[in-house]
Structure 1
Amino acid sequence: MSIVDRIARLLAAEITFRSRDGRGSRFSISVPLDDAQSLRSGLQLLLEGWGYETVAAGFCEEALDLGAREGWRFDAMVADHRLGARLSGTQTVNEIHARSGRKVPTIVIAGDTSPDRIVDIHASG
């Protein structure tokens, strides 16, 4: 938790968690509005602090190129819904699924919380 605390302070983020015996723990990360590069770097540092090997991309074409270079060996993905001009985050994730030949567990982050956007993201699987 000391690594997470240090990263949270660097990002001016708030980390909260709740644990229940026999049920597990839930962690929440609240970050201030910031540019995408800072958030991506902060999330990458956080995940690496938890022991995960990470790679990061800033837009859809970069993510697809990175996936090809890495041999599509992702165990999980975190995608911003607004990943770039050509493809949304959910479209990019679906393209990665198609190219890798498998569904990779994914968390989609969206600042747009309109009901239509939430329905679109949920419908994407």
Structure 2
Amino acid sequence: MTPGPGRRLIPAYLVTGGRSVPAGPALDRLAVLVRTDEHVPPDTGAEQRRLCELLEPGALTVVECAAHLGLPVSATVFLATDLVAAGHLHARPPIPRAGEIDRSLVERLLVGLRTLH
């Protein structure tokens, strides 16, 4: 049986080694991943190596990595958690949402801008 377009040859559960729980604390799906200078050993799995190569030019969130790799987010969390534990990646928590803006401050700003005109 040959896979159709967009279908993976390797099922996602094989990428995680059949585990149902990550080795370390699970990363948030919006955590930002950054590659370290740590050398990736030759015995590193192909999917983990692909993830490291994807992050060499910069930083991406876990969900962005999953989309680029064509993996489910849950499987990418496993890969990233293992690579963070091994020192090949740094993970930063997601940026929190901004608080609500004080409406009176915005109104005073608009009044001030109008007086300048």
Q: Greater relative contact order: 1 or 2 (C-alpha under 8 angstroms, separation 6 or more)?
A: 2
Give the number of the structure whose alpha-carbon radius of gyration is greater.
Answer: 2
TM-score with structure 2 setting the length = 0.29
More strand by share: 1
Q: TM-score, normalised by structure 1?
A: 0.27
